Structure 1
Amino acid sequence: MKLEFAPSARSTVGLEWEIMLADPVTGDLVGRAPELLAALEAESADERHTVTGELLTNTIEVTSGVGRSVTQAVDDIAQAISAVRAATEPAGIELLSAGSHPFAQWYDQRVSDKSRYHTLIERTQWWGRNMMIWGIHVHIGVESQAKVLPIINALTAYLPHLQALAASSPFWAGERTGYASNRALVFQQLPTAGLPWSMRDWSQFESYLDDMVRTGVMADASEVRWDIRPAPRWGTIEVRACDGMSTLPELASVAALVQVLVEHFSRQLDQGLLLPELAPWFHRENKWRAARYGLEARVIVDAAGNQLPVREHLVRTLSELAPIARDLECSREFGGVASILDSGASYARQLAAADAADGDLGAVVQHLIREFRSGPESSVAEVPPLIRTQPSSN
């Protein structure tokens, strides 16, 4: 199967953000996207941003245009959110974002009336109906098809870092899971989801797709649901590992980190260097550790199996790659990663909000609603007890 990789300007940025619709009083999800989408889609037709539906009727997705910088893509998202608010506020609907809703139940949710969603649910059954998950997708332009798989192989080693920064699903259907990102482990239950297969080059990716289509596993490349994947239609590498970010500044910071890492590896390829890779069993362990411990995880950082706290490795990465952030004009957003390290990721803030309210998860929803409007609430002094620092020996 021959698959073209669309022309794309190097290190351009595209963002997708899945947003929950909730009742402002109860905090529960409301399946009211269908009544809003026709007008919102029409209004965004001539804009850089788009507003669309998703798998469940309790969700609206906003996407940016192709940004020359992170700032431009984030500005698109901000305009999209403003347009959505103009529709939801008169309708009595609140907005929030996280990897999961703290207490909503899957059996109360409705699937959007599109054939591809019904096909997915028919095939995946219980697991598909349990996909009450929200995420962000970060697209980075790559100018050469030959670079795509080598960069994906190298960037996979940083998926746990991104996952830890974005982790925002410590609750699931009213239960405190003990995981920073329960979404990460739920999502990988879908066919073709999870960590990417390690592939040498584009022809091997084409062979993989040929096998999958020929055997009826998928219809086309859009059904590859890896944590990081090629997006041939757009000419990008798409990172999909992250929970829904709870605030726009945090979304901008994670997007900047992804952009800088892709550009870093692209420059190494330009220099004729062989990009570093980890064994797949290390990737699998790192993903689990980031899901369990979030920013308190220790990650395996090289082929020799050396390990570092993910916070320490992120600090090193920020220092080493700061010049690239300046070149890409995203230093402000890139520096926001340090702010997440200082104040705690969303999962820790949610747990702190629950503890402060004697376990009332309705209070956690109200916390998320406030954060979505105003930015991160700096209220976390320490990591809550169910997500402790990972032991140094495993």
Structure 2
Amino acid sequence: MKLEFAPSARSTVGLEWEIMLADPSSGDLVGRAPELLIALEEESADERHTVTGELLTNTIEVTSGIGSSVAHAVDDVAQAIAAVRAATDPAGIELLSAGSHPFAQWYEQQVTDKTRYHKLIERTQWWGRNMMIWGIHVHIGVEDHRKVFPIINSLAAYLPHLQALAASSPFWAGERTGYASNRALVFQQLPTAGLPWPLHDWSQFEAYLDDMVRTGVMADASEVRWDIRPAPRWGTIEVRACDGMSTLPELAAVAALIQVLVEHFSRQLDEGRTLDELPAWYHRENKWRAARYGLDTRVIVDAAGGQREVRDHLTETIEQLAPIAVDLGCAREFASVTRILDDGASYARQVAVAAAADGDLSAVVQHLIREFRSGPVTSTHDD
């Protein structure tokens, strides 16, 4: 199967953010996306951003245009959220984002009436119905398809770092899971989700897709749901490992880290260097550790099995790659990764709120609503 990788400007940025719709009083999810999207999709048709539906009717997804910088893409998302609020505020609907809803039940949710979603649920059954998960997707432009898998294979070593920074699903269906990101382990139950297969060039990816399509596993490349994958239609590498970020500044910080890492590896390839890779079994262990312990994770960082505290390794990475962030115009967003390290990721804040409220998870939802409403930030890019 020959698959074209679309032309894309190097290190450009695209963002997707899945957002929950909730009742402002109870905090429970409300399946009102279809009624909102009739107008919202039409209104965004001529904008850089888009507003669309998702698997469940309790979710709206906002998407940026192709950003020349992180700030550019973030501004698109901010405008999209403002448009959504213009519809949800009068309708008495609140917005929040996290990897999971603290107490909502899967059997009370409705699947969006689209053929591809119904096919997914028909095939995956209980696990598909349990996909009450919300995430962010970060696209970074790559100018040459020959770079895609070397970069993916090296970037995979940083998936636990990204997962830890974004972890925001410590509760599931009313229970404390003991995990920072329960979403990470739930999502990988889908047949084409989870860590990427260790492919090494574009032809191997084409062969993989040929096998998957021929055996009826998937219809096309869009059904590859790896934690990090090529997005041939856009000419990007897409990172999908992260829980839904609870605030826009945190989304910007994680997007900047991903952009800088991709550019860092791209520059190494330009210099003729062979990129470092970890064995697949270390990736599996790192993913579980990050899901379990979040920013308290100790990650395996090299093929020899060397281990580092994820906070320390991130701090070192930020210091080393700061000049690239300056070159890309995302120095402010990149530096704000340290704020997450200092203040704690969303999962830790949610657990603290629950403890202060004697385990009342409705208080956690109200906390997430307040955090989400504290953004979007004011415009950071003139266009």
Give yes or no for the alignment of 1:172 onto 2:162.
Answer: no
Q: Please give the root-mean-square deviation of Cα atoms over the aligned residues, in Å.
A: 0.7
Match in the other structure for 2:326: 326
Cross-structure match for 2:124: 124
Number of residues paired by the alignment? 376
Partner residue of 1:293? 293
Match of 2:191 in 1: 191
Q: TM-score, normalised by structure 1?
A: 0.95
SS in 2 for 1:89: helix
Matches within 5 A, 1:28-43: 28-43=28-43
Match runs of 1:191-270 below 5 Å: 191-270=191-270
Measured in 1, the distance between the counterparts of 2:194 and 2:362 equals 31
User: What is the alpha-carbon distance in structure 1 between the residues aligned to residue 160 and residue 3 of structure 2?
Assistant: 29
**Which amino acid in structure 1 is aligned with residue 152 of structure 2?**
I
SS at match of 1:90: helix
AA matched with 1:348: A
**1:339 maps onto 2:339 in alignment:** yes
Report the CA distance between 1:38 and its aligned residue.
Answer: 1.1
Q: Which runs of 5+ in 2 are unaligned?
A: 377-383
1:162 aligns to what? 162
Q: Aligned letter for 1:138?
A: V
Residue 386 of structure 1 corresponds to: none
Corresponding position: 1:64 with 2:60 = no
In structure 2, distance between residues paired with 1:245 and 1:181 = 12
| Regions of 4+ moved over 6 Å | none
The residue aligned with 1:135 is 135
- Superposed CA deviations along residues 30-67 of structure 1, whole A, max 9, x for unmatched, are 00000000100000000000000000000000000000
Deviation at 1:200, TM superposition (A): 1.2
d(CA) in 1 for partners of 2:267, 2:373: 37
Q: Deviations over 1:62-94 (max 9, x none)?
A: 000000000000000000000000000000000
Aligned twin of 2:381: none
Alpha-carbon distance in structure 1 between the residues aligned to 2:19 and 2:253: 18
User: Given residue 201 of structure 1, which amino acid in structure 2 is its aligned partner?
Assistant: D
Task: Write the mapping of 1:43-122 to structure 2, written as runs, cut at 5 A.
Answer: 43-122=43-122
Find the aligned partners of 1:375 and 1:146 in 2 and give their Cα distance: 38
Equivalent residues in 2 for 1:362-373, closer than 5 Å: 362-373=362-373
Letter of the 1:288 counterpart: W
Cα distance in structure 2, aligned partners of 1:164 and 1:295: 5
Map of 1:390 onto structure 2:
none
Counterparts of 1:344 and 1:91, CA distance in 2:
33
| Secondary structure of the corresponding residue to residue 339 of structure 2 | helix
> For residue 26 of structure 1, what is the aligned residue in structure 2?
26
Paired position in structure 1 for 2:303? 303
Q: Deviations over 1:305-334 (max 9, x none)?
A: 000000000000000000000000000000
Q: Deviations over 1:224-282 (max 9, x none)?
A: 00000000000000000000000000000000000000000000000000000000000
Whole-Å separation in 1 of the counterparts to 2:303 and 2:323: 26
Q: Distance in 2 between matches of 1:140 and 1:252?
A: 13
2:6 counterpart of 1:11: no
CA distance in 2, matches of 1:360, 1:274: 51
Partners of 1:38 and 1:7 in 2: how far apart?
A: 32
In 2, Cα distance between equivalents of 1:341 and 1:142: 29
Give the AA of the match of 1:248: L
Corresponding residue for residue 374 of structure 2: 374
Alpha-carbon separation, structure 2, partners of 1:339 and 1:167: 15
Q: Percent identity?
A: 85
Counterparts of 1:289 and 1:191, CA distance in 2: 22
Q: Distance in 1 between matches of 2:299 and 2:138?
A: 22
Partner of 1:379: none
Unmatched 5+ residue regions in structure 1? 377-394
Structure 1 residue 375, shift from structure 2 partner: 5.3
* Per-residue CA distance 1:330-364 (angstroms, 9 max, x = gap): 00000110000000000000000000100000000
Amino acid at match of 1:266: S
1:181 Cα offset (Å): 0.1
Give the letter for the 2:338 counterpart: A
Q: Distance in 2 between matches of 1:206 and 1:11?
A: 23
Q: Secondary structure at the match of 1:102?
A: coil
Q: 1:157-194 deviations in whole A, cap 9, x for unaligned? A: 00000000000000000000000000000000001100
